[in-house]
Amino acid sequence: MKILVVGGGGREHALVWKISQSPLVDTLYCAPGNPGIAELAECVLIGADEIDALLDFAVNEKIDLTVVGPEVPLTMGIVDRFQAAGLEIFGPNQAAAQIEGSKKFSKDLMAKYHIPTAAYGSFTDRDAAVAYIREQGAPIVVKADGLAAGKGVIVAMTVEEAVAGIDEIMVDAVFGAAGAQVVIEEFMAGEEASFFAFTDGKNILPLASSQDHKRIFDNDEGPNTGGMGAYSPAPVVTDALARDIIETIVRPTIDGMAADGCPYSGILYVGLMIADGKARVVEFNARFGDPEAQPLLMRMKSDIVPVLQACARGELTQTSLEWHDKAAVCVVMASGGYPAAFEKGLEISGLDAAEAIEDLMVFHAGTALKDDKVVNNGGRVLGVTGLGTTVAAAIDKAYAGVKVITWPGVQFRNDIGKKALGR
Ligand code: AMP
Ligand code: GLY
């Protein structure tokens, strides 16, 4: 079959890598892809949010299955457009993608179906929002309602900080229309983890556990990023907790959305806060996590293609996935200055030496080719992902790869996976 993957980051490189191993695949395209993806798939110069052009391409090439990586095309309705044209596509439709596209939508859904999460209020009026903050006190969390590329959340330790956040979002409109509405949430303490499940709108197929590292610096310090590294499995998610998460969060979410006339199909990303052995929802996303996809897909033994196809068709009967016994750890190598401004176009050295290491994958995220050389072209540049018989061995493997790759200003965390070792 012919498959098109939409996107061009580390998550999509991992998806392309995994899909390319399926005996069911004859031709694999990726739009727009990146230099790493180009080794495995034919890259098509169409942006992930150019829905008309993607649809034309898929119709002309008779694509059998399209797999959407990022959230933006999902919230723009790429799935609705492809389905209307009779094409199979993996991901939620526009109505269901609101679970990520609108924080108020997801909080209202959780309230309606008694899904454990932080208490909240939602506001379109600045003064009402400020009054709520003063009433609740700090610490408190302020969130722009819409998509803000992972930057629309302010975890405020004081009331003043929260009010300043409201003014940034609602008055200065730093996130544009995404900030016309805000959600204000109770601060949750605990350890974060990510939980993923494939679904066709009715049936659920959970993935192995994983954990991201959101802050830029070691020991979870500094500003939030898209994610600086991830590992799987995550021991904080015990088997009992995973069953609990499915029963109290994933199942009621999927059933609730179906009952509300907006069934969710694709992969559901549940961002969790875990405290005292109980999990509460921090956020839902409508897609695979990045970088969580890198370690998860390296560990996945089952062919992913039949699963993606079954979700797209509403025929998910498979009830479990096979996983390699090994642990996987992904260390993100980022541009100097990220998550703020950074310089692009700097040549990356050591890629060949890293790629020669066994059980190691260098997934490209923000890279480009300049004069036939690979250069940095985004904040998160590479996801160096290693397998090992234990998390400790996988950490050593990933950092062995990181050690041989460099470019001016490169930054990465030195403590990816350490949390798992403490357990
Ligand atoms: P979100 O985009 O909603 O995942 O928020 C980004 C990050 O902010 C999360 O990964 C958490 O680290 C933090 N965060 C969000 N909501 C809360 C909350 N209610 N309590 C504590 N931290 C939060
Ligand atoms: N790893 C965080 C995200 O994908 O949003």
Domains plus CATH for the chain? 2-93 (3.40.50.20), 119-186 (3.30.1490.20), 191-313 (3.30.470.20), 327-421 (3.90.600.10)
Separation CA 329–CA 209 (nearest Å): 12
Q: What's the CA gap between 108 and 128, in Å, rounded?
A: 18
Whole-model pTM? Answer: 0.95
Atom from ligand 2 closest to the CA of residue 285: 5
Rounded-to-integer distance, Cα 113 and Cα 98, Å: 16
Q: Burial level of 22, CB count in 10 A (0-12/13-18/19+)?
A: middle
pLDDT of residue 80: 98
For residue 110, the ligand closest to its alpha carbon is 1
281 Cα: distance to centroid of ligand 1 (angstroms): 9
pLDDT digits (tens, 9 = 90+) for 309-351: 999 999 999 989 999 999 999 999 999 999 999 999 999 999 9
pLDDT at 172 (0 to 100)? 85
Q: What does the DSSP 8-state code read for residue 117?
A: B
Q: How many residues does the chain have?
A: 423
Stretches where the chain sits below pLDDT 50 are none
Torsion sign (Cα): 28, 29, 33, 35: positive
Distance 290 CA to ligand 2 centre (A): 5
Residue 121 Cβ contacting ligand 2 at under 6 Å: no
Q: Does the Cβ of 118 fall within 6 Å of ligand 1?
A: yes
Ligand 2 lined by 225 (C-beta under 6 Å): no
Q: Could you tell me if the CB of 292 is within 6 A of ligand 2?
A: yes
Encoded amino acid at 265, one letter: S
pLDDT at position 149: 79
Q: What is the pLDDT of residue 173?
A: 83
Instruction: Check residue 40 and give its pLDDT.
Output: 98
- Helix axis angle for 94-101 and 251-259, nearest 10°, is 130
Q: Nearest residue CA, atom 3 of ligand 2?
A: 289
Task: Encode burial over 115-128: b for 16+ CB neighbours within 10 A, e otherwise.
Answer: bbbbebbbbeeeee
DSSP string, 263-306: ---EEEEEEEEEETTEEEEEEEESS--TTTHHHHHHHB-S-SHH
Q: How far is CA 248 from the centre of its chain?
A: 22
Supply the DSSP symbol for 235.
T
Give the model's pLDDT for residue 301: 97
pLDDT of the residue at 170: 87
pLDDT at residue 51, as a whole number? 98
361 secondary structure, DSSP code? E
Per-residue pLDDT at 179: 82
Rounded distance from Cα 123 to ligand 1 centre (Å): 18
**Nearest residue by C-alpha to atom 8 in ligand 1:** 153
